[in-house]
Structure 1
Amino acid sequence: MAADSKKTEFKQRVRYWAGKLDITIVWLGVRPMRNKWASCSTAGHLNFSDELPGLKPELWDYVIVHELLHFSVPNHGKLWKSLMRAHLGEYEVQEGELRRIAGNQAPQHTRFD
């Protein structure tokens, strides 16, 4: 699949999850990011690494849900972990895979948000 169509598919997946989680996205970007997979702001702005559309959709979901939950839960505490588990099940599997990928691309993507 061409890069542009993967990027479009990825953005559609972000919008799907935003709707499911009742999150309003003001701005959505997919761009080069050197040190993390994604970031979000309290103003409703989301940025995702342009490398994500090239990964498998299960990893997309992890990063997307991770960021969207930060609109209501700003940390990675018990509530955030509980919500991640409720939406993705054993999310640690995807988290570990992303960490392995990041390790293979060091120094890029050392953080998730």
Structure 2
Amino acid sequence: MTTNDKAAFKARVREWAQKLDVHVVWLAMRPMRHKWASCSTNGHLNFSVDLLTLDQALWDYVIVHELLHFSVPNHGRLWKSLMRAHLGDWEKAEEQLKRQPESLPPLHPTP
């Protein structure tokens, strides 16, 4: 993982934020033990540095997943239809993410 990797990932987040018309106030990458990403209603986004080891299709899945939560706070029908509109068959990326090595966190941890 390099500074260039982080810069590329953050640039990708900004591209998607612009496409989705989402205002990101704060964007960070840090070690996260229990999830791939998190967002807050005040425009803060955190992404796991472990994402940098994955391919861009999985980046896009996690990025769009989180950005959509700024307008849709759950994983209901509207959220799923927006995921499909922007990523097509997003469930494939979700399955790929679930198959990552156990050392990486799940997107939605179970309590």
User: What do the CA deviations read for 1:3-39 (whole angstroms, capped 9, x no partner)?
Assistant: 2111100000000000000000000000000000000
Match in the other structure for 2:105: 109
RMSD value, Cα: 1.3
Match in the other structure for 1:81: 80
CA distance in 2, matches of 1:89, 1:38: 21
CA deviation after TM superposition for structure 1 residue 53, in Å: 1.6
Paired residues in the alignment total: 109
The answer to whether structure 1 residue 36 and structure 2 residue 35 are counterparts is yes
Match in the other structure for 2:49: 50
CA distance in 2, matches of 1:17, 1:6: 17
CA distance in 1, matches of 2:80, 2:40: 20
Code of the residue aligned with 1:6 in structure 2: it is D
CA deviation after TM superposition for structure 1 residue 112, in Å: 3.5
Query: TM-score, normalising length from structure 2?
Result: 0.93
SS class of match (1:51): helix
User: What do the CA deviations read for 1:81-106 (whole angstroms, capped 9, x no partner)?
Assistant: 000000000000100000011xx225
SS class of match (2:34): coil
CA distance in 1, matches of 2:53, 2:2: 8
Code of the residue aligned with 2:53 in structure 1: it is G
Q: Work out the percentage of aligned pairs sharing the same amino acid.
A: 61
CA distance in 1, matches of 2:106, 2:77: 22
Match in the other structure for 1:8: 7
Q: Which runs of 5+ in 2 are unaligned?
A: none
CA deviation after TM superposition for structure 1 residue 109, in Å: 1.2
